[in-house]
Structure 1
Amino acid sequence: MTQSTEAQLAEQLERLTRRLDELETRLAFQDDTITTLSDQLAEQEMDIRKLWEAKQNMHKQLKEMAPSNLKAEHEETPPPHY
């Protein structure tokens, strides 16, 4: 091998090494981002479940507190045009 060929191979190897380092760095950041997003998603899911349960409890309490002003269908008098 000539010196120029060896220099070209060394330069190409250096470029590939830098590229590989850059890809590994990007992968590490992506892994961290995915982990962070996954954790946030899990927290939001728990918050949504808590809010849904709170809404269900409020709905139940409202039903127990205020009786409906509407009569049952069989208790309603028919409208005058019948």
Structure 2
Amino acid sequence: MNQEDRLVDIEIKLAQQEDLVDNLNKTIYQQSRRIDQLEAMIEKLAERVRTLQESGQGPLNERPPHY
């Protein structure tokens, strides 16, 4: 393998690594956005549970009447 072939191989590997890094960055960004959305949902649910408990609407794990 001559020097030019080695250089071409290195350039190809570098381009592939750059593509991989870009894809990983996109994935991390998407996951971060999803985590933010899920955290917001959890906060809303927790607030709803607090509101229901404060309003005295009974225990949330109450058995249905047919038991």
TM-score (norm 1): 0.66
| Structure 1 segments of 4+ aligned residues over 2 angstroms from their partners | none
> Deviation per CA, 1:20-48, whole angstroms, max 9, x where unpaired?
00000000000000000000000011000
Query: Superposition pairs for residues 17-56 of structure 1, below 5 Å?
Result: 17-56=11-50
Percent of residue pairs bearing the same amino acid type? 19
Deviation at 1:11, TM superposition (A): 0.2
Q: Which has the higher contact order (CA 8 A, sep 6+)?
A: 2
Give 1 or 2 for the bigger CA radius of gyration. Answer: 1
TM-score (norm 2): 0.81
Show structure 2 runs of 5+ residues with no match.
Answer: 59-67
Show structure 1 runs of 5+ residues with no match.
Answer: 1-6, 67-82
RMSD of Structure 2 on Structure 1 (CA): 1.5
Which of 1, 5, 9 matches 2:3? 9
Q: How many residues end up aligned between the 2 structures?
A: 58
